[in-house]
Chains A and B, each alone.
Chain A
Amino acid sequence: MAAYLVRRLVYGAFTVLGVLLLLFVLFFTVTDPDDIARKAVGDRAKAEVYVQWKKNHGYDRPLFVNSEHGVADTKRYTDTLLFEHFRRMLTFDFGRSDADGTPIAKRLREGAGPSLSLTVPLFVLGLLVGVVVSLFVAFFRETYIDRSMLVVCMLAMSIAGLLYIIGGQFLVGTLLRWFPISGFDPDPAVTARFLALPVLVGLVSGFGADVRLYRTVFIEEMNRDYVRTARAKGAGDARIMVRHVLRNALIPILTNVVLAIPFLFTGALLLESFFGIPGLGSLTVEAIQSNDFATLRTMVFLGALLFIAGQLLTDISYALADPRVRLS
């Protein structure tokens, strides 16, 4: 078990290094430090301001090789943007935003709360609704209940996520006036009103795919021999579905679900930006729009770390749920 974890962590470290390199190369293929600086100071800024900004933010160095230093000098490679990029990320020294100069660590702290208050309820409710509905549908498989739910799911999956957002804002916010269209308030009592609509929209847009997937898993389990054994014992339908089918189906469902847990921290990109929730998803979208390399790379780096954590968590939960699995 310990050896397994160590091995996974080493693989994970290589993955993170690869992600950082890829991000750097891709980002500076589409843009360059001059562009970033010009965007930050504005087109009409004086040349000195522009040069000073580049110096302050460390963009006055070359990307890969610094030819000011000799061939034998290690500074030739360490005094570069690439090296600085790795140094900062690996020491968790995220620095300041390229767009407005605020410390990125501060933005992360501020954004985590709003993001979690959206993603956690969405995750928990989504899992609950998905599992309960699909367990129900699987039990009534091949009946009109199952078939009509299939139609609902296919429709739900065929509609683009954006339409749910806009439609939800129009229907619930403008016509029915149940909840505000967008916005956020740190006061928990008021927040619930702001979060209701995005959570609802998130639930509806994820519903179809989840139910289809879980239904397939449940039906596969229901056709297994041990279910027949349970019926032959005289167990009732409810008992069979919950004690036998659900318990076994949780194993494949877990893999799907646990992997998503770390991403609760990075927020929901679309929902946050459309509903004006100042979370980490909004932060990422803003960073993309404003060419804010410092913020964007932080989010990507954290995303990669969380992804690896999610995979580890999945493996561990797999071993806990299925007695046949041994981590080695």
Chain B
Amino acid sequence: MSTPLLSVEQLTVSAPGAAERVRIIDGIGLAVSPGETLALVGESGCGKSMTALAIMRLVSPPLRIHAGSRVLFEGRDILALPATEMRTVRGAQMAMIFQEPMTSLNPVTRVGAQVQEAITLHSDVSPFAARMQVIDLFEMVGIPDPHKRIDAYPHQLSGGLKQRVMIAMAMALKPRLLIADEPTTALDATIRAQILDLIRNLTANTGTAVLLITHDFGVVNELADRVAVMYAGQIVEEGTREDLLARPKHPYAQGLLKSIPRAEQRGGRLEEIQGVVPRPGQWPEGCRFHTRCPYVFDDCVFEPPARTIVSATQAARCHLLTGKALDPA
């Protein structure tokens, strides 16, 4: 594997709790190579979005990124950068689009001006040149009538168009990394495919790597090169898209895959993972998934599983892989 563009090591974020600080994400490690798309998958509440915000350093008090966490972007630890320098990275080299296009745009500012702000913050162009650039960007992201639409207010645009504006804003400076936090979750199914295509084509053209946060294996299948599965603040399995879709090793990853509706199972009852993700601070001892795992045995309750290498591309955190119990497959 080439040198990663983004390498996250031991990333831990905590929030104040009743007695002591509660970890929301706990020692995450991730790597994204240049141009690659890594999907971060998991149920709501497992810490996916928090991971994305921590990588952008958008975690604000009372939440805190722990000392010892490292986010290496193009080789430098951006968690150690002074705030002013971090601002030159954010938006220019590393950009983000959010789940809620409805609320992610400033309601009282014209959308063109909001994209223009992203440009003028990072480059010394005249307002006129920046405006021309915005029109080009709007055209590029497939907004019809860009000349008119740049002067629209967010409430005058549909959800799909708003998300296109967000994408235009994020891609304005051709960032090296795009973090997309559930970019299609809030959109209609018909718009979803268009937006996914747009993200794929734009990032392929500019060679932008993508960290895609989603709970939807359909989106994973469309876009991801590699997948990391997150559960209760940890990465429990990682591998290529083929690894995860064809031979998932962690019972949680298997459960997620089984819960996808399929045409050939029409009429049958959909499989589900029993229970819900435990809240931060209520994570069980041992393996954090053991309370919901169908294959649970003694070790799972007492001992946290180590990361076990399965193949050159795949690794998972599960006691089953150490050969102590029955083969789950």
Interface positions of A (Cβ within 8 A of B): 142, 224-226, 228-236, 243-244, 247-248, 251, 321-324
B229 within 8 A of A: no
User: Which of B6-14, B27-35, B90-98, B306-314 contacts the other chain?
Assistant: B90-98
When the two chains form their complex, are residues B104 and A228 in contact, meaning their CB atoms are under 8 A apart? Answer: yes
Contact B92 A226 (CB under 8 A): no
**Does chain A have a CB within 8 A of B56?**
yes
Chain A nearest CB, measured from B33 CB (Å): 23
- The complex places the Cα of A108 from the Cα of B302 at a distance, in Å, of 85
A234 touching B107, Cβ below 8 Å: no
Given A142-B62, A228-B58, A324-B155: A233 and B104 within 8 A (CB)? no
Q: Which of B69-77, B116-124, B219-227 faces chain A?
A: B116-124
Residues of A within 8 A of B53 (CB): 228
Bound together, the chains give a CA A247 to CA B113 distance in angstroms of: 14
Q: Are B121 and A233 in contact (CB under 8 A)?
A: yes
Q: Assess the B104–A229 pair: CB atoms within 8 A.
A: yes
**Beta-carbon contact of B90 and A251 below 8 Å:** no
* Given contacts A232-B56, A232-B95, A248-B108, A226 and B90 within 8 Å (CB-CB): no
Q: What are 17 of the A-B contact pairs (CB < 8 Å)?
A: A142-B62, A225-B98, A229-B105, A229-B166, A230-B106, A231-B58, A231-B90, A232-B58, A232-B91, A232-B170, A234-B87, A234-B122, A235-B91, A235-B117, A323-B107, A323-B153, A324-B155
Given A234-B118, A234-B122, A235-B117, A248 and B90 contact (CB-CB distance below 8 Å): no
Q: Is B236 an interface residue (CB 8 A)?
A: no
* Contact between A323 and B106, CB atoms less than 8 A apart: no
Q: How far is the CA of A321 from the CA of B105 in the complex (A)?
A: 17
**Inter-chain contact A234/B108, CB cutoff 8 Å:** no
B103 touching A247, Cβ below 8 Å:
no
Contacts of B166 in A (CB 8 A): 229
Q: Is the Cβ of B87 less than 8 Å from the Cβ of A226?
A: no
In the complex, what residues of A have CB within 8 A of residue B118's CB? 233-234
| From B91, B106, B170, contact of A248 by CB (8 A) | B106
- A234 in contact with B92 (CB, 8 Å): yes
Q: How many angstroms from the CA of A321 to the CA of B109 in the assembled complex?
A: 10
- Complex CA gap A324/B122 in Å reads 30
The reply to whether B58 and A247 contact each other, CB–CB distance below 8 Å, is no
Which residues of B are found within 8 Å of A247, using beta-carbon distances?
106, 108-109
> In the complex the two chains form, is B107's CB within 8 Å of A248's CB?
yes
Extra inter-chain contacts (13) besides given A228-B53, A228-B98, A247-B108, CB under 8 Å:
A142-B62, A225-B98, A226-B105, A226-B106, A229-B105, A229-B169, A231-B58, A232-B56, A233-B117, A233-B118, A248-B106, A251-B108, A321-B108
Closest 8 CB pairs of A and B: A234-B91, A233-B91, A225-B103, A226-B106, A234-B90, A323-B153, A233-B118, A232-B96
